[in-house]
Structure 1
Amino acid sequence: MKTRIGLQLISDKLVHRGACVRTLACSFVLGLCLIGCAQQPAYRPPSVAMPPAYRNAGATAGAHASPAAAGVQHAVHGRWWTTFDDPVLENLVETALAANLDIAVARARLRQALAGSSAAAAARLPLVTADGSAALRRQSLEDQFGRFASTIPGFDRTIALYGLGAGASWEIDLFGGLRAGQRAALADAAGAEAGVSGARLTVAAEVATTYLDAREIQARIDIATARIATLADLDRLVGLRLSRGIAAGLEADQVAADLAATRAIVPALEAALEAKLNRIDLLLGRMPGEAAIAIGTGAVPRAPELLPAAIPATLLTARPDLVAAERAVAAADARTAQAIAGQFPRLTLAALFGVLSTDVASLFGATATQGSVSAGLTGPVFAFGRVRADIEGNRGRRDEALAQYHLAVLRAAGEVETSFVALARSRDRASHLQASAAALARARAAARRAYAAGAVSLIEALDAERRLQLAQDGTVTAQADAARAAVSGFRALGGGWPDRAG
């Protein structure tokens, strides 16, 4: 009786001790989970104080703006290049968006990022594997095992072995390391997607700007060519006056010098035009030579209205580069959380099941089955600062991404304000220069008539020609500057990226 009571007491103590051990183990794991969660705060997008309105938005809404133009601008904001009302430009931009190689590179990066996010999501799920084997082995009789086994009756030194098996392993995400890795991969994918939109916006803006450059150069070539023709007529007039003894040889030399100097301008402009055309071909992903035929000749397109439809705060989600920068911050924050989780143990569950037999016929019998179930807990014990260094490195990269984001926001806001002022001032300059060119054209005609009548000197006539050319050149450049400022404005405002993304 005493023996049974003693055995019962021992059994109760063992059961109690086992329960205590399980309780302590569960408390330990739960405590680690709470510690891990406490050190991984939820991500919050960085906050930026934006002004309530664009400071220079009203600069473009002066005498040049009109309600009808504003309505057109907003209606086609997603395809802003159509607001220039230039079919050639529209065709060039659409072709570039379909064939540009920089956009192709951005799309390839997006595919890589999406694959990375899929891999990160799969890392949180069990991994199931299967295998099969068939082997034929012949045992040596010269080693110790072979010598011993050969003494056993019925020993066969040739053995066939067949097996089938399946296994599964699963890392339990106790401390959120895998979840953080998935968040980082998703942020990378979102940033790469914004990168594709950013590449499209950049290419469209570069095509438009280069096209405007080409049109400006063509217009300047036309102005120089017209002045060459005018100076050639004046040269003939001076030659006639010289043959009659009315003009001096100095006048002939002056006209010839101006004519040669003006002719020297054309080759430089033609070389610049060729460079712009080749740039257009590169942006369109094709060999040089096609752009010259595609664009033909034409005037500089008139700059459209640039009227922002929203407050500056919407710029944070309107520009793909700012979205990509914010996603870079999110990815860096998630990788910091992943590094923090790396200082805690990792729990892995594994299971194996299979069959193994020396005979195919008995491979699926009950006696051929085998299996195992295991759980493993691994973690750093003596890392000598490696884990802490990894955490600090990721925190530094997060702070770097955050500073880059704030810098990008400031730069974007400045680009918007600058584009507003540049557009307004270029329009004003073009208007004044147009008036100046008109007056100088009348003055030149009067100077030509007066010179032919002998009322003024040749120097006055040539000066009128030079001033007119400068005014005409300035007018074309100012018009092109206004159009380029509009392109910069559309690009700074995001180019309707949310509209196209939706």
Structure 2
Amino acid sequence: MSVRAPFIVLATLSLSACVSQPSPPPQIPLGAAFASAALPAGGMTQVRLEQVWWRDFNDPVLSQVIEDALLGNLDITAAAARLQQAAGASRVATSALLPSGSVSASGAAQRQSLDDPLARIASMSPDYERTNDQFGLSAAASWELDVFGRLSAARRAAGANQAAAEADVAGARLSVAAEIANAYVTARELQARARIAATRIRTTDDVLKLVALRYDEGSASRFELDQAQADASASIARLPLIEAARDETYNRIDLLSGRAPGHAAAILGEGAIPEALAFTSEDGPASLLVRRPDIVAAERRLAAADARVTEAVTAYYPRLTIQGLVGFLSSGLSGLVSEDALQTAGSAGLSGRLFDFGAARGGVEAARGRTREAAAGYKATVLRAASEAEDGFSRAARSHLHALALAESEAALARATTTARTAYDLGGLSLKDALDVQRRLLDIEDTAAAARADATRASIGLARVLGGGWSTRDFSQAGGAPCPAATSAAGVSCEG
């Protein structure tokens, strides 16, 4: 053996270790805290974000609708099916690192043709048997030794894909819960606006009757009568569009719940718009790396792509496979399991590329390109998540302040309407002025209902962009991969 041989072996093993080394995810600088989280929220109730965040709204019907949808939604079902596929692929990749074995049994009977020249010669022997039986029983094993880390890299890639699929399931659940919650709030908003529209119809109809009576008595002008008629007709025109939007929202809830239309209206009944909540996050933007399922999925897909680069690089190196066989082969069943019928075999094979016209290099370049694409996708996902979180805090705080201001306006106009009605009845205020105050009140009631719903939807949006209380701790406990490498790089614990 040459003196240089040990050094060649050591260099090869060192290269193998380098080839199988996973690359860390890209570093993305994030702020220490959410700037918009410090915005005044007008006394909005603050709640720590948990996985079942929708229960904090203290609306049993909302909780029922969301939890029913989590069981029946078809997007979640499809995501779970993709997880099942990824888990199966991961198991296949893991099994490739271990020896594979097979057992076989056979029995055959052959009657030889005497027209065969060899059989014609053999038939001249007195011991010649034209009919032959043969029975066999054997076990074989094969094992590819993972010298250069190809199989380990494939297993890492499959495991990372499984982890990404599991995060996708969590992401689908979060999205469905948020979409159902938004639809529920919209349904309650439209119910409130339909009630306001119905009140507007009754009010304008009463005014029309009163003006018509005064017109008949000669104390009201034709102009006043026409104006009252126009207001009554306009009020009637509002309601059908609101009811159509409400029915569409009911159907949306049924669709998200994985059932045919026609159930949501009975399940929801009538109810109030849930109050807005200020969901809090004790950690800064770096916590999104472990709390947003889409970020975890993107990081795991990046890890899978990186492992595929390693797998592609190993195409340059040979593969070592060992095989073994033990069994029995006999012309009769009675002597099948005997020392004379025993047969064994063993082999070791080394195979590698002689030339491939650049196929291996092309595979490596393609894998590296996919890794760069995954890295760009990961960065974009992180930055988008940070931006969405800032937007979520801002919108939640400012929407609540907007709703508070409109509520104060609504209360003031309600008082003004009472005063105007009294003044009109006493003759101290014209009908036009009294109707203007009434119209403004109904308009502000409608706008305030929409603002309350917007504030609650902003709370739901904040829960969604903060990850819905999900974390990689739950991910690991559910059988996923360990904490993504990006979490330690950002100084964030998976247990957070």
What TM-score comes out, normalization by structure 1 length? Answer: 0.90
Please say if residues 41 and 400 of structure 2, whose CA atoms lie closer than 8 Å, have aligned partners that are also in contact: no
Indicate conservation of the 8 Å contact 2:278/2:396, yes or no. Answer: no
1:203-222 equivalent positions in 2, closer than 5 A: 203-222=176-195
Describe the SS at the equivalent of 2:15: helix
Q: Deviations over 1:84-121 (max 9, x none)?
A: 11111111112222222222222222121111111111
Name which of 356, 359, 362 aligns with 2:332. 359
Counterpart amino acid of residue 338 in structure 1: E
Match of 1:4 in 2: none
Tell me the distance in 2 between the aligned counterparts of 1:294 and 1:200. 21
Mean CA deviation greater in 445-454 or 40-49: 445-454
Question: Take 2:474 and 2:203, find their aligned partners in 1: how far apart are those partners?
Answer: 50
**In the alignment, structure 1 residue 56 sits paired with structure 2 residue 36:** yes
How far off is 1:454 after superposition?
4.6
Q: State which drifts further: 488-497 or 359-368.
A: 359-368
> 1:314-393 to 2 correspondence within 5 Å?
314-393=287-366
- Partner of 2:107, secondary structure, is strand
Letter in structure 2 aligned against 1:49? P
Any conservation in 2 of the 1:106–1:196 contact (CA below 8 Å)?
A: yes
**What displacement does 1:438 show?**
2.1
> Which of 4, 19, 23 lines up with 1:43 in the alignment?
23
SS of aligned partner of 2:43: coil
Correspondence list, 1:84-99, <5 A: 84-99=57-72
Q: Which moved more, 1:406-415 or 1:461-470?
A: 461-470
Partner of 2:120: 147
Amino acid at match of 1:420: F
The equivalent position to 1:238 in structure 2, one of 198, 205, 211, is 211
CA distance in structure 2 between the aligned counterparts of 1:118 and 1:500, rounded to whole angstroms:
21
Distance 1:428 1:494 in 2: 24
Residue number among 140, 151, 161 corresponding to 1:167 in the alignment: 140
SS at structure 2 position matched to 1:259: helix
Q: Is the CA contact (8 Å cut-off) linking 2:107 and 2:135 kept in structure 1?
A: yes
Equivalence map 1:421-460=2 (5 Å): 421-460=394-433
Q: Deviations over 1:334-358 (max 9, x none)?
A: 1111111111111111111211111
Deviations 1:51-98 (A, max 9, x none): 011010011x54414xxx43xx22x62211111111111111122222
State the alpha-carbon separation in 1 of the partners of residues 253 and 103 from structure 2: 55
Contact 2:22–2:307, Cα closer than 8 Å, also in 1: no
Unmatched segments (≥5 aa) in structure 1: 1-18
2:103 maps to 1:130: yes
CA deviations 1:370-391 (Å, max 9, x no partner) are 2211111111121111111111
Q: Residues 122 and 128 of structure 2 are in contact (CA less than 8 Å); yes or no, is this contact kept in structure 1?
A: yes
Q: Distance in 2 between matches of 1:293 and 1:344?
A: 66
Unaligned runs of 5+ in 2: 478-496
Give the TM-score normalised by the residue count of structure 2: 0.91
Indicate if the aligned counterparts of 1:227 and 1:465 stay in contact, CA closer than 8 A. Answer: no
C-alpha distance after superposition, 1:448-477 (max 9, x if no partner): 344445544443333323322221111111
Q: Deviations over 1:120-178 (max 9, x none)?
A: 11100001111000000011111222222222222111111111111110001010000
Cα distance in structure 1, aligned partners of 2:13 and 2:354: 17
**Residues 270-305 of structure 1, C-alpha deviation per residue, up to 9 Å, x if partnerless?**
111111111111222222222111111111111012
Contact 2:19 2:149 in 1 (8 A): no
From 407, 424, 438, the counterpart of 1:465: 438
Q: Could you give the per-residue CA deviations for residues 398-428 of structure 1, whole angstroms, max 9, x where no partner exists? A: 1111111111111111111111111111111
SS at match of 1:359: coil
TM-superposed CA distance for 1:316, in Å, is 0.5
Distance in 1 (alpha carbons) for counterparts of 2:419 and 2:41: 35
- Which deviates more, 232-241 or 108-117? 108-117
Q: Give the corresponding residue for 1:11.
A: none
For residue 280 of structure 1, the aligned residue among 238, 241, 253 is 253
Q: Could you tell me how far apart the structure 1 residues matched to 2:283 and 2:443 are? A: 40
* Closer, same or farther: CA 142–25 of 1 in aligned 2, 3 Å: farther
Is the CA contact 1:175–1:341 (under 8 Å) kept in the aligned structure 2? yes
Q: Distance in 1 between matches of 2:306 and 2:356?
A: 23
- Which of 172, 178, 181 in structure 1 is aligned with 2:154? 181
Contact 1:430 1:474 in 2 (8 A): no
How far the C-alpha of 1:31 sits from its partner, in A, is: 4.3
Q: Which has the larger radius of gyration?
A: 1
Q: How far apart, CA to CA, are the structure 2 residues paired with 1:285 and 1:413?
A: 32
Structure 2: distance between partners of 1:130 and 1:98: 44
2:447 is aligned with 1:474? yes
Instruction: Give RMSD over aligned pairs.
Output: 1.9
How far apart are the structure 1 equivalents of 2:79 and 2:214? 67
After superposition, the Cα gap between the structure-2 partners of 1:373 and 1:27, relative to the gap in structure 1 and judged at 3 Å, is farther
**Distance in 1 between residues matched to 2:18 and 2:160, nearest whole Å:** 22
- Correspondence 1:49-128 to 2 at 5 A: 49-59=29-39, 61-65=40-44, 69-70=45-46, 73-74=47-48, 77-128=50-101
CA distance in 1, matches of 2:33, 2:446: 36
Which residue does 1:6 correspond to in 2? Answer: none
How many angstroms apart in 2 are the aligned matches of 1:212 and 1:431? 18
Higher relative CO (Cα under 8 Å, sequence separation at least 6) belongs to 2
Task: Quote the sequence identity (%).
Answer: 45
Aligned to 1:15: none
Q: Find the partner of 1:495 among 468, 475, 495.
A: 468
CA distance in 2, matches of 1:151, 1:28: 62
- Count, aligned residues: 475
Which deviations, in whole Å up to 9, do the C-alpha atoms of 1:291-332 show, x marking residues without a partner? 111111111111012221212211110111111111011000
CA distance, structure 2, for counterparts of residue 380 and residue 467 of structure 1: 83
SS at match of 1:164: strand
Conserved 8 A contact 2:42-2:401: no
1:27 CA drift (Å)? 6.4
Partners of 1:389 and 1:286 lie apart in 2 by: 48
